[in-house]
Structures are given as structure tokens and as C-alpha cells.
Structure 1
Amino acid sequence: MPLHPQQRINRFEKNFSAYRLIIVVIISCVLMYQDYQKNYLSALRVYLSASLYPAQYLINLPKNFIQKLNTNFSEREKLLQENKFLKKDNFELRSKIQQVYKLESENKRLYDLLDSQPEKDNSYIFADIIAVSPITEKHQIIINKGSRDDVVVGSAVVDSNGILGHIIRDQIFGSEVLLISDREHAIPVEIVRTSLRSIAVGTGNYNELRINTLPTNTDVKKGDILITSGLGGRYPEGFPVGTVKNVTNNLGESFLEIRVTPFGDLKTINEMWVIQPRKAN
């Protein structure tokens, strides 16, 4: 029985679709082989990847931002902690190095009374400045350590360079410090080179102290180093105070006019040590 024309057309179309599929597969295989051999499509893949990069970037942007933010916060906290510990360790080491001045002074003379006095050790309390006196004429600061932290009135205060002053008033949670540059302050000092002792007084200038109690025939020179003499018991012996800036012998005067530059930067104080004397057992 003859086939209906419509049926012949349908079979033809099905066969035609199968032929197309086979042709497409063959062409694809040839193209893949040629690309494998000579990388014809590598440039095309590069361009396609480049066109997809913005989409990939935007998709991963929130995740990368959160990861980066967490990393920055953790690294910042770690750096702050390390910086705090390193600063404290460096500060303590530099403070201990100041004892070199004391050793230099002791090597210049026989210390006959060494065995006749009990040794005294010092403990140190680390403190930060929290306020400066609003009165220009008063060179005073407030620190964040007080009697709650075992700080006592009269304790000396130093930084990594030298003596700064001493505690004059307790505020329980803080303390007031009178700086050595204040006009009402006086500190017993010793000239390292000659072992001569005197008193250095404040001038109201953060960068200068004055000595006017040494006779005109005293052996003192520009550049001489001054340390605490320990007399009076307020300031421990051997801590750096400053260097002689100039020596003036005024005509008709009985005493020299000596200007001293403090070792400590009294104008821009940040961290410091409160020296707590502790008697040896």
C-alpha cells in the first residue's frame, strides 16, 4: 500500500535532523582536535573569561570584603598589643641603662660608705599622662596612677631619658607630678666628671634648669653630665638629670651662673615610671 505523502515528508524531516546532528558532532570533533593541536580557540576563551570576570568579582565582593575586614581588625589588634608590649619593654630597658651614669660616677671615687649603708632596691610603676596643668606658670601634670596602685607622695618620676619630677599630691586613681622645670622645684645633683654636688632649680622653662650655688673657681664645663646625688632621699641616686649648656662667670659675682638642659623631654611627656623605694630586708 502506498505511503501517504505527509508520512514521507515526516520521515524525511526526522532523517534530516539526524543528519544535522551527525554533521554538528563531526564539526565539533574537528574543531576540538584543531584547537587541541594549534590552540585556535585560546584567544576566544581568554576574551570570554575576561567578559565574565566583572560578574565573578561582583558575586565574590561581599565575601572578600568581610574576610578582609576581619583580617584587618585581627591584625590591627595584634599589632596594637605587640606595640604596647614592645614599647613597655623598650621603656624599661632604656630606664635601666640610665644606671650607667651612676656606675661612671662611682668609678671616679672610692665608695667607702658602701658597706656602712643598707642597699635599697627600687620598684617601678608604669604610668601614662592624662592631663597638664592649665596654669602656664605651673609645670605640673596628672598621671593615671595613684594610691590605689601603691603610688606614694614624694615618689620620683622618670622617663626613658631621665628624671621628670616627683609626686606632690595623691588623687587615689591618679597623682599630680611637679616637674623639675617648675620655678618652685629644686633637685640635688652631682656632676659626674668631678663628683661635685649642688642644687639645680627650675626656671619656668621646660628646656632649662639653673645652678647658682657653685663658687666661681669651681671646675665645671659645658657638656658635663648631671645625675641625682641622692641627698635628701627624695630622688634615688644616679639617675640622669641633664647636661651643662653654658657656664657664665659674671664680673663681681661670687657664684657661677650655670644653665642645664634636662635629659627628659618635659614638654611632650607620654609614658613614665614612678620609682617606688623599697627597703631591703
Structure 2
Amino acid sequence: MNEVFPRGPSLLTRLALVLGFSVIAMFVDTKVESVSTFRAYLTSLVSPLQYIADMPGAVLNWSASRFTSREFLLDENERLTAQITLMSEQLQRFNTLQQENQNLRTLLDAPVQQEMHKMIAELMAVDNNPYSHQIVINKGALENVYAGQAVLDESGILGQVIEVGTTNSRVLLISDVTHAIPARISRNNVTLIVSGIGDVSELSLEHVAHSTDIREGDILISSGLGNVFPQGYPIARVSSIVRDESQPFAQVKAQPLAKLDRIKYLLLLWPKDIAPEEAISNQQVLDGLGAENEE
């Protein structure tokens, strides 16, 4: 008897086919260099859809800002004015210390750290894969964004750019399990490796010897090794240390200083020699604050 609805391949056959195609796709992705270029084209192709998807939220934010009370705006303006005043004082001291540091380096004939230029970027989307901590930002090849570029927020290092499209880019956060960053303890310059464990509120320090001089509360900053993150930027604060002599290494956890779960605006860094014209330097920030103070 002929069936009205003919049966297709069995579930096991379908599973085997899917697994086979997945293995082939992973092999091609790792072995064929042209795949990364094709992925970049796909990212550029999808970017208009991401802007369209982001538009309702932008419209709602714009509408909400229009209905904000006048009293709230006055309080916010007063708070920001006070914050700018405090930052101006700190930047003035920083400028003096920077000059003194340059003089000392000249006396010691030591190389001066390369100045970094900066540009503000905005979050567009968050990867919905729970096992991958990635985000999409609204800057791309048109702004000279490049793979491996350091990304920060106002508190510390967020991650690095891994894919660049025409108008947007994909950023791998430091909390991702595949991410690791060379670091050092600001208190004593001991070098360590800080790795993500898939948790936005916690990082892990790899291969820490029991005798290592590390304490809870120590601040970890980028060491500059690996030529990805410039040295001196904050990464995390040591939160717990377990020294179990039955284990080969101490178990050290740290809390990231960047707000990985509350990302809105980000900061992209360029070395001075490859920075785009739109990026600003520390001196331009100081000059701008100085002009505001004179007014």
C-alpha cells in the first residue's frame, strides 16, 4: 500500500549527515584561508540588517530622552560638571608626571612608550551563543579598525577585535574561554596569564606557583607582551587565592574591572603611526579640557 506521506531518512541517518557536514565545515574553516575573507564579506552583507534591528531600540532611547524631566537634566549636568572638574585636576597632575617621566627616561636613555590614539564605538549586538562571549560594535574597516585591536571601556580592558566588516566589527571579550592576556601585578611587576572561563564576573590566572607573591586585592594590568594590548591598562582585581599543596599550582581567581555585562560605549586603541584622522590623542584631550577651563 502506498503511503500518503512517504517517510524520509531515519533520525540516526540525519544526525550522521549533520555531524559529517559540521566536521567538514570546521575543517574547511581552519585550513582554507579564503574562508575568513568570505566571512568578512558576509559580515558586511549582514551589517545593514543589524542596523535595522538596532533601530527600534535607538528610536525608543531617543523618545525616552525627550521625556526626561528638566530637574533630572539639571542634576545630571551638575554631576558631570563636577566630574569634569575633578578629571581636569587629575589630568593636569598626569601631564606633569608624564613630563617628569619623559625627563627621567631621557636621562636613563630608555625607550618611551608609544602614545595611543582613541575612538569611541557603540555596542550594536551581543552574541546569543551562551558558550561564546562576543559582541558587535558599530566601527569597521571604514574607520581603519583591524583584527587584534585592543578594546576598552572606562574601567579597563574589554577584549580585542577578531573580525572586521565594512561598517562593524566583532569583539572577543576577555571572559571568553578562548581568550588569554599577558598581565603583571601592579604592586610588584610579577608576570601572569589571565584567562577567561566563560563567566563575565570572573577570570582565572593560569599556572601560578604556590610561592608567587600575589595577594587578594592586587590589581592586574596589561604587560604589553604579545603586542596586542598596550602595557599599563587595568584588567582585573584578584578576588581569591587557594594554595592547595596537593595541586601543582595555586588556584587564583580575579574579578574583571571592565563592566562586561553592562557594555554600551567602548574605546578603540590605535598606535600613533596607524591611527585614523578621526582618532584623538591624550594631548588633544588635555587641550580640549584646557580650552573648556579657560572659557
User: TM-score by structure 1 length?
Assistant: 0.60
Give the Å deviation of 1:121.
1.2
Give the Å deviation of 1:117.
3.2
Percent of counterpart pairs with the same letter?
Answer: 37
1:203-256 deviation digits (Å, cap 9, x = unpaired): 100001101212101111110011001111100100010100000112312211
> In the alignment, does 2:189 pair up with 1:179?
no
1:158-190 deviation digits (Å, cap 9, x = unpaired): 000000000000011011000000000001111
Alignment partners' CA distance in 1, 2:126 and 2:149: 19
Are 1:119 and 1:279, in contact at CA under 8 Å, matched by a contact in 2?
A: no
Match of 2:210 in 1: 216
Are 1:188 and 1:228, in contact at CA under 8 Å, matched by a contact in 2?
A: yes
Alignment partners' CA distance in 2, 1:111 and 1:186: 31
Structure 1 stretches of 4+ moved >3 Å: 110-119
Tell me the C-alpha RMSD between the 2 structures. 3.4
Alignment partners' CA distance in 1, 2:235 and 2:108: 23
Alignment partners' CA distance in 1, 2:212 and 2:270: 34
Counterparts in 2 of 1:116 and 1:127: CA distance versus 1, 3 Å: same
Match of 1:128 in 2: 122
Equivalent of 1:198, from 178, 192, 209?
192
Match of 1:234 in 2: 228
Alignment partners' CA distance in 1, 2:251 and 2:107: 32
Alignment partners' CA distance in 2, 1:183 and 1:257: 17
Alignment partners' CA distance in 1, 2:195 and 2:162: 16
Alignment partners' CA distance in 2, 1:213 and 1:117: 31
Give the Å deviation of 1:278.
2.0
Give the Å deviation of 1:143.
0.3
Are 1:139 and 1:178, in contact at CA under 8 Å, matched by a contact in 2?
A: yes
> In the alignment, does 2:123 pair up with 1:119?
no
Give the Å deviation of 1:116.
4.4
Q: Which amino acid aligns with 1:241?
A: I
Are 1:250 and 1:256, in contact at CA under 8 Å, matched by a contact in 2?
A: yes
Secondary structure of the residue aligned to 2:194 is: strand
Equivalent of 2:257, from 242, 245, 263?
263
Counterparts in 2 of 1:172 and 1:113: CA distance versus 1, 3 Å: farther
Give the Å deviation of 1:151.
1.2
Counterparts in 2 of 1:119 and 1:240: CA distance versus 1, 3 Å: closer
Are 1:120 and 1:278, in contact at CA under 8 Å, matched by a contact in 2?
A: yes
User: TM-score by structure 2 length?
Assistant: 0.58
Match of 1:276 in 2: 270
Alignment partners' CA distance in 2, 1:260 and 1:182: 14
Alignment partners' CA distance in 1, 2:107 and 2:139: 35
1:33-78 deviation digits (Å, cap 9, x = unpaired): xxxxxxxxxxxxxxxxxxxxxxxxxxxxxxxxxxxxxxx89x99xx
Alignment partners' CA distance in 2, 1:159 and 1:173: 20
Alignment partners' CA distance in 2, 1:198 and 1:112: 29
Match of 1:155 in 2: 149
Alignment partners' CA distance in 2, 1:220 and 1:151: 36
Are 2:105 and 2:111, in contact at CA under 8 Å, matched by a contact in 1?
A: no
Are 2:105 and 2:112, in contact at CA under 8 Å, matched by a contact in 1?
A: no
Q: Which amino acid aligns with 2:115?
A: D
Secondary structure of the residue aligned to 2:199 is: coil
Where structure 2 has 5 or more consecutive residues not aligned to the other structure, the ranges are 1-65, 275-295
